[in-house]
């Protein structure tokens, strides 16, 4: 493995923190603390810091909860000019691609007011069977300054690698 | 009834519910691994308290961050209190937020919009 090139690639992408591996809850907490310490040292406004932190938590918890029995994934928090970006990636069951795509596409067309209305509607729904709240993607879209963007990459075993980019 | 006390961690709030005073305190951050597990004893304590006493209920919230799963669980708690309020129980909610944090104010306001009980949003320095 060429760690120098890997590190150069991450630096070129503006990466502040990158984690690849098994997402335990403890790791999510630790990285969260590191993210906040960094943003505080940059004297980022509190509301902007909360936006980045909130997107980070929702993205990391999604990776942990939706990547199957081995919660393996990658998460990058990066800075690009005035913006922060949270990238997350994980392998998922190919059977859920259509549903996830439909949910994401629905969010892309909505402005802030419509996203708030959808959030409130979802808040009043019964919890989905997975025990989540069904609110994570809507929350990320509300905090984002640009529409969410994503990619699926098919794997030989029929599963898919899902990557999501949120610009705050 | 016993006082309900939960010691805070990085991702779970301080909880102190006192059956003598009717003050229910939630303070800190909430983004646990499993918010249903965190909130289950909280909700059942409040249900018992509402049934077994007639005291006023004063929920005091100083939560600075909630993940969406915790937001859903806190909504369940507010729904319990809203039901009690509609049955003429004296219920107040006071939400303290950092006055430098617009997002914290928005979050409090969005909860307030969901209920009709007395809900005060108070800035703190």
> Model confidence over B2-15: pLDDT tens digits?
999 999 999 999 99
Instruction: Judge whether residue A152 has pLDDT over 90.
Output: yes
The answer to whether B13 and B27 are in contact (CB under 8 A) is yes
Instruction: Judge whether residue A158 has pLDDT over 70.
Output: yes
Instruction: Judge whether residue B67 has pLDDT over 90.
Output: yes
Q: Look at the block and give the residue holding tokens 């009834």.
A: B1
Instruction: Judge whether residue A131 has pLDDT over 90.
Output: no
What is the Cα A63 distance to its own chain's centre? Answer: 8
Instruction: Tell which of B67, B77, B97, B123 to mutate to test the A interface (max A CBs under 10 Å).
Output: B67
**Average of pLDDT values for A4-32?**
94
**Chain A closest-CA separation from residue B1 CA (Å):** 30
Q: Is A131 on the interface with B (CB under 8 A)?
A: yes
Please, which pLDDT band fits residue A41 given cuts at 50, 70 and 90?
confident
Cβ contact (<8 Å) for A127 and B72? yes
Please, which pLDDT band fits residue A128 given cuts at 50, 70 and 90?
confident
In this predicted model, what pLDDT tens digit does every residue of A43-87 receive, in sequence order? Answer: 778 888 999 999 999 999 999 987 777 778 999 999 999 899 999
Secondary structure of residue A166 in the 3-state scheme: strand
Instruction: Tell which of A34, A44, A47 to mutate to test the B interface (max B CBs under 10 Å).
Output: A47
Pairing state between β B23-30 and A72-80:
unpaired
Predicted local confidence at residue A65, as pLDDT: 85
**Average of pLDDT values for B81-91?**
98
On chain A, the residues whose CB falls within 8 A of the CB of B11 are 25, 28-29, 32
Q: Which residue of B has its CA nearest to A126?
A: B72
**Average of pLDDT values for A92-114?**
94
Facing B36 at nearest CB: one of A25, A47, A131: A131
On chain B, the residues whose CB falls within 8 A of the CB of A25 are 11, 32-33
Handedness of CA A56, A61, A64, A65 (dihedral sign): negative
**Chain A closest-CA separation from residue B40 CA (Å):** 13
**Average of pLDDT values for B36-47?**
97
Q: For residues A129 and A104, which has the higher predicted lDDT (pLDDT)?
A: A104
Q: Which residue of B has its CA nearest to A55?
A: B67
Instruction: Judge whether residue B25 has pLDDT over 90.
Output: yes
Instruction: Tell which of B13, B31, B73, B111 to mutate to test the A interface (max A CBs under 10 Å).
Output: B31
A114 vs A117, A119, A133, A142, B106, CA distance in Å? 5, 9, 18, 10, 16
Cβ contact (<8 Å) for A136 and B68? yes
**Average of pLDDT values for A6-21?**
95
- Enumerate residues 6+ apart whose C-beta is below 8 A from B64: B28, B29, B97, B98, B101, B104
Q: Look at the block and give the residue holding tokens 């630096």.
A: A11
Q: For residues B61 and B33, which has the higher predicted lDDT (pLDDT)?
A: B61
Instruction: Judge whether residue A136 has pLDDT over 90.
Output: yes
**Average of pLDDT values for B25-36?**
95
């Amino acid at each position: 493995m060429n760690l120098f090139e890997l590190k150069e690639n991450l630096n070129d992408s503006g990466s502040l923190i990158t984690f690849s591996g098994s997402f335990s809850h403890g790791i999510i907490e630790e990285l969260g603390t590191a993210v906040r310490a960094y943003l505080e040292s940059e004297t980022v406004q509190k509301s902007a810091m909360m936006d980045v932190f909130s997107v980070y938590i929702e993205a990391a918890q999604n990776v942990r909860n939706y990547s199957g029995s081995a919660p393996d994934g990658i998460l990058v928090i990066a800075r690009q000019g005035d913006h922060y970006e949270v990238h997350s990636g994980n392998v998922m069951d190919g059977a859920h691609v259509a549903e996830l795509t439909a949910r994401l596409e629905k969010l892309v067309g909505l402005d802030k007011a419509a996203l708030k209305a959808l959030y409130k509607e979802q808040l009043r729904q019964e919890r989905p069977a997975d025990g989540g709240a069904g609110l994570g993607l809507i929350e990320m879209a509300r905090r984002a300054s640009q529409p969410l963007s994503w990619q699926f990459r098919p794997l030989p075993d029929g599963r898919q690698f899902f990557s999501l980019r949120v610009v705050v | 009834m016993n006082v309900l006390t939960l010691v805070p961690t990085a991702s779970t709030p301080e909880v102190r519910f006192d059956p003598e005073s009717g003050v229910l305190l939630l303070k800190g951050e909430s983004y646990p691994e499993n918010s249903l597990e965190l909130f289950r004893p909280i909700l059942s304590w409040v249900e018992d308290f509402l049934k077994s006493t007639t005291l006023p209920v004063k929920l005091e919230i100083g939560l600075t961050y909630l993940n969406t799963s915790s937001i859903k669980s806190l909504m369940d708690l507010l729904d319990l209190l809203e039901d009690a309020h509609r049955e003429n129980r004296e219920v107040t909610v006071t939400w303290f937020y950092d006055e430098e944090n617009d997002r914290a104010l928005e979050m409090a306001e969005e909860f307030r919009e969901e209920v009709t009980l007395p809900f005060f949003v108070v800035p703190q320095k």
